[in-house]
Chain A
Amino acid sequence: MNVIVCVKQVPGTNEVKMNKETNTIIREGAEAIINPFDTYAVEEGVRIKEQTGGKATVISMGIPSVAELLRQTIAVGIDEAVLLSDRAFAGSDSLATSYALSKGINKIGDFDLVICGKQAMDGDTAQVGPGLAEKLGIPHTTYVRKIEEIRKGYIRCQRMTEDGYEVIEMPLPAVITVVKEINEPRLPSLKGMMKAKKAEIRIMTADDIGADKDLCGLKGSPTQVVETFVPVHDVNSEMIEGTPGEQVKRLAEKLLSMKFMTVK
């Protein structure tokens, strides 16, 4: 079974912090990482490939340096990495991203399943998976926490919901987005790392994948960021002192006086 995994580069988690005084974002190091949710997607892709035979490919849309990051996925078992990189893609919102990825995936061709992360740590929209499925004209299921069965043309999986899960069947090819619960990503192996070092990362432009540039990047993006600001949480922290008994009494008094509980 051939699996394609979508992977996004995001700024390292701790790099985006806020500076309370100047009300701006401060970056430290600005090291880029693979979107954490996508590591679960990669692991699931590799497992499916190992169990069913076939090939696992990663695809990413991003700046040229993302190619180096994609090597990490080869070190954990991905067979091939494809990077869509072109100035024409810059400024994509989730719609334009979905479009470009769908073109790239069709170019790679011959796939049974596309796996995305639940959401990206930076944009945080969780929209690319379903948007991509639509552009590919295939079904999707979000928040998959377990694949119960997968075979040619068929998948049965569990989607996480607010109070449990649903068991969903789909024909393949299809798109799933995965949550952290689905697996525990393996660490790279030395052999994998050696392979990754030598691997060739295929870089494709908008023309290579036959994308209509009007539908890519800024031009293809209906949404537009007009303002950004750092949220300020004014916290007046109050430490409650005393013996445990006193602390609890005082806390309860304060909370109850604020009528915090809407009686149900």
Chain B
Amino acid sequence: MNYFLTEEQQMIKDLAAKIADEKIKPVALKYDEEGIFPRDIVKVLADSDLFGVYIPEEYGGFGGGIFEMALVVEELSRACGGIALAYAGTGLGTYPIILFGTEEQKAKYLPDIAQGKKLAAFGLTEANAGSDAAGIQTTAKADGDEYILNGTKQWITNGGEAEVYTVIACTDRSKGARGFSAFIVEKGTPGFSFGKKENKMGIRASVTSELVFEDCRIPRENLLAREGMGFLVAMKTLDRTRPGVASQALGIAQGAFDEALKYSGERVQFDKPISSFQAIQHMLADMAIQIEAARCLVYQTCRHIDGGAKSISKESAISKVFASDTAMKVTVDAVQVMGGYGYMKEYPVEKMMRDAKITQIYEGTNQIQRNVIALELIKSQKVSK
């Protein structure tokens, strides 16, 4: 299929694919099993300039958008959804700065991120605030030229490995979600430490940690946008980066499909390759159908967002739900096609099945996404009346 990528986009995709095949595939299983953070792959990605694809040219990037980022995430995820997250998580942590940062903030942080010298992370979720992000308890109190942060963020991707964190905290509890603000916090700031590292089902090469703030003082200039805009910063960011999760799902699905297809031609039962059985053929066909549909949707959504559209929540939610549900279904079927071998760690599909699951959960569960979609639908119904 011709996806009408520009020459640059094709180049980015090809380069990411090369890294996935040559560098990530050989280590994916080991890193998953031992829960190794892929520092070496981060270095390769940095040397290849891929960290900069979505960062404006003024700040040392290539001036692309979410589409360029999604293309990279897709290809990396084909080899390992967990390793890809070191990259995608940085995108999530960086977007608030791209969208809402001041000239000074951008100039200070973006060039290092574009060159892959620094990773980023995004801290919203807390123990008691998951889907209900408005329930966060972390506070930021203004004190002269500084803010003092207190509280704990939970399950933060790249936590401990990233140098730059965008964190949502409450500056005025009385105003509810309108009292939230977004901050940039650097690793190494006194009072900022990392709590426990999670032991996860999948994406085990990605690190997920607690961020702990104990009277952590940060300069006032680290406030993103204005006080009270924190919730908006978070939501606008997530609207933009959800196709990133979608492309992660897409890559995982593609990776599992490739394995299953290859295996079906090699495995012989009843004196025939299993690919000659219609039951297998139909499973493979269904996988291909869903992946193709997901890819078209994700790419189109990215173009919609990069094109500067105003309303993107519903679109980005749709792409995330569809692609992540596809990934789950395709990976389960890939294991099925491969039978007992698919269930074994010698083959990568059992891992892909474990990895796929997270895409239905984070950056807003698929239930919450459906809420968002439905709400938008109803809203548009009211407007047109």
Contacts and interface: CB of A to CB of B under 8 A. Distances in A.
Pair from one complex: yes
Contacts of A186: 47
Nearest to A196: B11
Given A193-B11, A193-B15, A187 B53 contact: no
A223 interface: no
Contacts of A188: 15, 18, 48
Interface string A186-214: 11111101100100000000000000000
Main secondary structure of the interface of A (DSSP, over half): helix
A187 B49 contact: no
Contacts, number: 31
A187 B62 contact: no
Contacts of B169: none
A72 to B, nearest CB: 11
Greatest chain A CB density within 10 A among B7, B48, B62 is at B48
Nearest to A185: B22
Contacts of A190: 11-12, 15, 48-50, 52-53, 62
Interface residues of A, number: 9
Interface string A155-190: 000000000000000000000000000000011111
B49 A189 contact: yes
Contacts of A193: 11, 15
Contacts of B53: 190
A229 to B, nearest CB: 30
Interface in A80-107: none
B36 interface: no
Nearest to B23: A187
B87 to A, nearest CB: 14
A193 B18 CA distance: 13
| Top 10 A-B residue pairs of the complex, sorted by shortest distance between their CB atoms | A190-B49, A189-B49, A189-B48, A193-B11, A191-B49, A187-B48, A187-B18, A187-B19, A189-B47, A190-B15
16 contacts: A186-B47, A187-B15, A187-B18, A187-B22, A187-B44, A188-B15, A188-B18, A188-B48, A189-B47, A190-B11, A190-B15, A190-B48, A190-B49, A190-B53, A191-B49, A197-B11
